[in-house]
Chain A
Amino acid sequence: MSKAPSLLAFATAVLALSRAAAQDFSAVELQVLPVQGNVYMIAGAGGNITVQVGAEGVLVVDTQFAPLAEKIMAEIKRLSSRPIRFIINTHGHPDHVGGNAALAEMTAPTPLEPLQMIAHENVLNRLSHPQPGEPETPPRGLPYDSYFTPTKDFHMNGEAVFLYHAPRAHTDGDTIVLFRGSDVVSTGDLFVAGGYPFIDVARGGSVQGLIAGLNHVLHLTVPAKTQERGTFVIPGHGRLCDEADVVEFRDMVVIVRDRVADMIDKGMTLRQIQAARPTLDYDTEYVNENSFVTAAAFVEAVYSSLTEQP
């Protein structure tokens, strides 16, 4: 099988994300949703932002695009007058790290209230060595406080905050963030609501890793009565969710993977598999005119994951 079309498709997708950083954001209106406990969700253009506030300051997970930073900062200031103490990047795509530098500039940290910018080290590696066509990340926006261990944890605003690395999932640098006291999980693009996952195979993502990461999220979530609410889940994109939504998404990915694997076993090529439409029964739910990931791209990512050489 030829890998070239796959890599080209994913490189194109990330370039599209990069180009999005140059679009006109003046009309974008941010929405702030109280989630639970100390945690809020800010949605606008790009990935969802998670904000945790309290007496010790503000913790931000992902930063959307740089041109939105002023609006984002204005919303954060409505939630807390304290400085941003932590910026955590769930992965390195431009719609999640684009506002790093601008927010860092605006937060004015002091030696007593320093700002830490945290991500898995693979994110730092990729952001500091961009591929041709990818945007340069200003030094102020690089997550130098990177970690390389499976987990990292610290205490902030009266609750434990856990970072879990999800290896080779959406990318090779994914982090799941758990706010243990507030009972909220922030997933980055490991999980998105209302669309197919973007498995960035060219940047170390894989369908197996994605499923393992989703299963990890399910381990962290505990539903309340009628198997819903309890732990809330902030997805990389789309509406606020909980465990039941992650289960539906995980099951969809597993079922599509199983179908594609069966077709590969039968000797079908990628084009034949795409033509057979193994996602037909999910397309009306997961694809619309604004979708970033088409059915064909999702199938291609699954195919590439399952056929790549170790």
Chain B
Amino acid sequence: MMRRRARAGLQLVVTLLAAPAHAQVDFSGSWAPLFHEDQPERLPGPELGDYSGIPVNDAARLRADSYDADRISVVTEYQCRPHGGDYSMRGLANMRVDQVLDPLTQRLIAIELRMNFQEMERTIWLDGREHPSALAAHTFAGFSTGTWQGNMLDVVTTHLKPNYLRRNGLPRSDQATFTEHWVRHGDYLTVTTLIRDPAFLTEPLVRSQNWLLAPAQRLGRDVCVYVPELPGAPDYVPSHLPGTNPFLREVIDWYGLPEDGVRGGSDTLYPQYQRRMRLPDAIPLQCGRYCRCGEHNRGFCDVQ
């Protein structure tokens, strides 16, 4: 009896050890982004000076206040840059996910993502490998490893190059790391992202993005070749001197928002902020930008 129990126990242990610990969910396929969430920020782009809802510090505010979008064209090295690994998930993020299988064991060792914008590629390693040395090179995509938590894939990304939290100059540093939680519900995919940045954030920035499976989608090429667009001094970098950016009030005036609200910070993340929020100086009588958004407008907004 004892021997039979021991054998059964051993069998159980062997069975558990042999059980596949990988690939509970298949994320492979073509995915089309759904932009119902944060649409104005993600498609046409955020307004200059709008830092609301982002837990930024004073350093991030000044960096964004100084931002001049001319830099993207005048500094040729910026022209073909992709989004960072974190932002690429919420930009023009048509995405293809491929499985990478170990040819010998057929074990899933990674998933590869390809986004259409600038042909950004990310690899999420699932084979338990370590992240590289702190002295290793950083990339825009970063270095990502994933572990399964039930049917959810948890991804940790390090080794990022400097990039942005919003496309209005709000910076994200190369000290940042981010965690993602990938969840598939049938044909829908939700990825929740938590960005930690000791240089520019006072607490993690949490955002989510959704995709719909799109088997007919084909990602084309997005070949970019940088060219000098303006003759200029080699040490000219477009930037507003502190206190001189004339565009920072636009978002306040156009939408009738309180000034301290658009400056962002941890407070502006939470609903209770509405109770303390000061009223704006003036409220526009009618909507002037991003009006009539939604399905009745073919999923778009009127932008003036």
Contacts and interface: CB of A to CB of B under 8 A. Distances in A.
Bound together:
yes
Interface of A: 31, 33, 41, 43, 211-212, 215, 218, 223, 225-229, 232, 238-245, 247-248, 250-251, 254-255, 258-259, 262, 278, 280-285
Contact of B81 (A227, A242, A251): A227
Nearest to B141: A226
A43 to B, nearest CB: 5
B235 A211 contact: yes
B266 interface: no
Contact of B137 (A212, A241, A259): A241
A242 B161 CA distance: 10
11 contacts: A223-B77, A227-B80, A227-B81, A228-B161, A238-B135, A251-B71, A251-B75, A254-B235, A281-B58, A281-B62, A285-B162
Interface residues of B, number: 46
B52 interface: no
A185 to B, nearest CB: 13
Nearest to A248: B162
A281 B63 contact: yes
B20 interface: no
B130 to A, nearest CB: 14
Contacts of B80: 226-227
B136 A254 contact: no
Given A247-B78, A251-B237, A285 B199 contact: yes
A285 B175 CA distance: 8
A225 B137 contact: no
Contacts of B118: 226-227
B135 A240 contact: yes
B161 A247 contact: no
A262 B137 contact: no
Nearest to A212: B235
Contacts of B141: 226
Interface in B45-102: 57-63, 66, 71, 75, 77-82
Residue among B137, B139, B200 facing the most chain A CB atoms (10 A cut-off)? B137
Contact of B139 (A41, A212, A228, A248): A228
Contacts of A212: 235
Interface of B: 57-63, 66, 71, 75, 77-82, 118-121, 133-141, 161-162, 171, 173-175, 198-200, 226, 234-237, 239, 241-242
A281 B119 contact: no
Given A240-B136, A280-B58, 8 more contacts: A227-B78, A227-B118, A239-B134, A245-B174, A247-B75, A247-B78, A251-B239, A284-B199
A215 B78 CA distance: 14
Most buried by B among A41, A211, A243, A251: A251
A281 B245 CA distance: 15
A239 B160 CA distance: 12
B77 A247 contact: yes
Contact of B62 (A227, A245, A250, A280): A280
A239 B237 contact: no
A289 B77 CA distance: 31
Contacts of B135: 31, 33, 41, 43, 238-240
B200 to A, nearest CB: 7
Contacts of A251: 71, 75, 237, 239
A242 B139 CA distance: 9
A285 B241 contact: no
Nearest to A48: B135
Contacts of B136: 33, 239-240
